[in-house]
């Protein structure tokens, strides 16, 4: 499987490490015109050619079975639009859409069935297990907690916007992945309650599924499900734990009172592991791209409509939160 790459930023080596493990060969890479970073990546990963211009890369497209687009965020939409005519599988980093006009121009991107969007957290085993639990228990109470810019003071609107569109969208996509696209109906934002650094809103009409987003507080991403007397917690995203009972700790010399501690059920707890030098989820994501080169698709990864739903919701949230 011959891979072409656009971009040479910090995320690219993680993609290439996973692609190497899956047997991809690296045909061509391009970043900014005459990019020194691209030349170094080409050297490190034995690319057959480092293109000095985007037009040169396009002219060589027949040598690619798939393309990774991991360029600067501001260029993702235009590059994807230009490359989609090639009719080969494309893995594109997120967020593709950074303003409403791009979402409205969605139909200008051709061969959309060939496009996979880089929401790699969908491939975590913990997330897939939680998604299955929710699907089997539609009346479950579900809560997403999304902290950003932890420990940072004097947070500006520009900082919030950049972080939200560049990173928070991962969690917004997980809301969609776990609960379905209706959870990202912008009408849900009518329930928004906010302060300058905190927001909470419903993501289901019955109010049993909720989300809170905070800025500047020290906390991990988490998802909590309450169902049938069990409390199932993903925190951090790589670990899932089920609590079914309480452990009572008697008073002692250090703490002179009885303590009631939630007790996990070890047989249900699961920690997700990949190799230390790989970002979680990247193997699954590149495996799906590999399957797409042979005409298949796993239906786990995000498609272009999924990405548009996430960006539309994110942009609407920012409009309401920052005004």
- Tens digits of per-residue pLDDT, 164-202? 999 999 999 999 999 999 999 999 999 999 999 999 999
Give yes or no: residues 60 and 128 share one domain.
no
Give residues with Cβ within 8 angstroms of 77, minimum separation 6: 96, 97, 98, 102, 105
Q: Is the pLDDT of residue 157 over 90?
A: yes
291: which residues sit within 8 A by CB, 6+ positions away? 297, 298
In this prediction, residue 3 carries a pLDDT of: 97
| Closest among 203, 189, 216, 213 to 319, alpha carbons compared | 189
Domain count, the chain: 2
In this structure, the answer to whether residues 298 and 312 fall within a common structural domain is no
Does residue 259 share a domain with residue 178?
Answer: yes
Secondary structure of 125-183 as H, E, C letters: HHHHHHHHHHHHCCCCEEEEEEEECCCCCCCCHHHHHHHHHHHHHHHHHHHHHHHCHHH
Contact 118, 210 (CB under 8 A): no
Q: Are residues 255 and 297 in the same domain?
A: no
Please report the pLDDT score of residue 269 as a whole number. 53
**Long-range contacts at 216-220 (CB < 8 A, ≥ 24 apart):** 216/149, 216/150, 216/151, 216/152, 216/153, 216/155, 217/147, 217/150, 218/147, 218/150, 218/151, 219/145, 219/147, 219/150, 220/147
The answer to whether residues 152 and 251 belong to one domain is yes
Find the domain containing 289 and state its range. 2-122+283-303
Answer yes or no: do 27 and 52 share one domain.
Answer: yes
24 and 111: one domain? yes
Statement to judge: residues 170 and 56 lie in one domain: no
Same domain, yes or no: 289 and 140: no
pLDDT over 90 at 323, yes or no:
no
For residue 158, the domain's CATH number is: 3.30.360
Is residue 152 domain-shared with residue 267, that is, in the same domain?
yes
Higher pLDDT, 321 or 253: 321
Condensed to tens digits (0 to 9), the pLDDT of residues 200-243 reads 999 998 889 999 999 999 999 999 999 999 999 999 998 999 99
CA distance 122 to 145: 17
pLDDT at 318 over 80: yes
Q: 165 and 312 in one domain?
A: yes
pTM attached to this predicted model:
0.93
CATH of the domain at 12: 3.40.50.720
Average pLDDT of the residues of the chain: 93
Quick check: 266 pLDDT over 90? no
**Co-location of 212 and 266 in the same domain:** yes
The confidence score (pLDDT) of residue 280 equals 85
The tokens describing 187, both together, are 């009408």
Partnered with residue 50 across adjacent β-strands are 29
Instruction: Quote the CA–CA distance of 242 and 314 in Å, as a whole number.
Output: 30
């Amino acid at each position: 499987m011959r891979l072409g790459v656009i971009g040479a930023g910090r995320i690219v080596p993680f993609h290439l490490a996973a692609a190497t493990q899956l047997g991809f060969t690296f045909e061509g890479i391009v970043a900014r015109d005459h990019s020194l970073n691209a030349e170094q990546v080409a050297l490190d990963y034995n690319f057959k050619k480092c293109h000095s211009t985007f037009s040169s890369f396009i002219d060589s497209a027949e040598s690619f079975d798939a393309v990774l687009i991991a360029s600067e965020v501001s260029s993702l939409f235009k590059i994807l639009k230009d490359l989609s005519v090639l009719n080969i599988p494309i893995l594109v980093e997120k967020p593709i859409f950074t303003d409403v006009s791009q979402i409205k121009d969605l139909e200008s991107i051709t061969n959309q069935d060939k496009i996979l969007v880089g929401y790699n957290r969908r491939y975590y085993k913990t997330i897939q297990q939680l998604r299955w639990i929710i699907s089997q228990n539609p009346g479950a109470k579900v809560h997403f907690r999304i902290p950003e810019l932890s420990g940072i003071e004097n947070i500006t609107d520009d900082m919030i916007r950049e972080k939200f569109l560049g990173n928070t969208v991962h969690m917004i996509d997980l809301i969609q992945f776990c609960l379905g696209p209706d959870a990202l109906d912008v009408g849900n934002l009518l329930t928004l309650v906010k302060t300058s650094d905190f927001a909470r809103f419903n993501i289901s009409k019955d109010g049993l599924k909720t989300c809170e987003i905070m800025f500047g507080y020290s906390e991990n991403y988490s998802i909590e499900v309450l169902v049938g007397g069990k409390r199932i917690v993903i925190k951090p995203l790589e670990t899932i734990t089920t609590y079914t009972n309480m452990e009572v700790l008697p008073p002692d010399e250090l703490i002179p009172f009885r303590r009631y501690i939630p007790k996990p059920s070890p047989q249900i707890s699961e920690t997700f592991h990949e190799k230390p030098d790989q970002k979680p989820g990247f193997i699954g994501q590149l495996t799906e791209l590999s399957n797409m080169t042979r005409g298949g698709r796993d239906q786990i990864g995000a498609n272009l409509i999924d990405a548009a739903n996430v960006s539309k919701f994110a942009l609407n949230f920012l409009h309401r939160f920052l005004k």
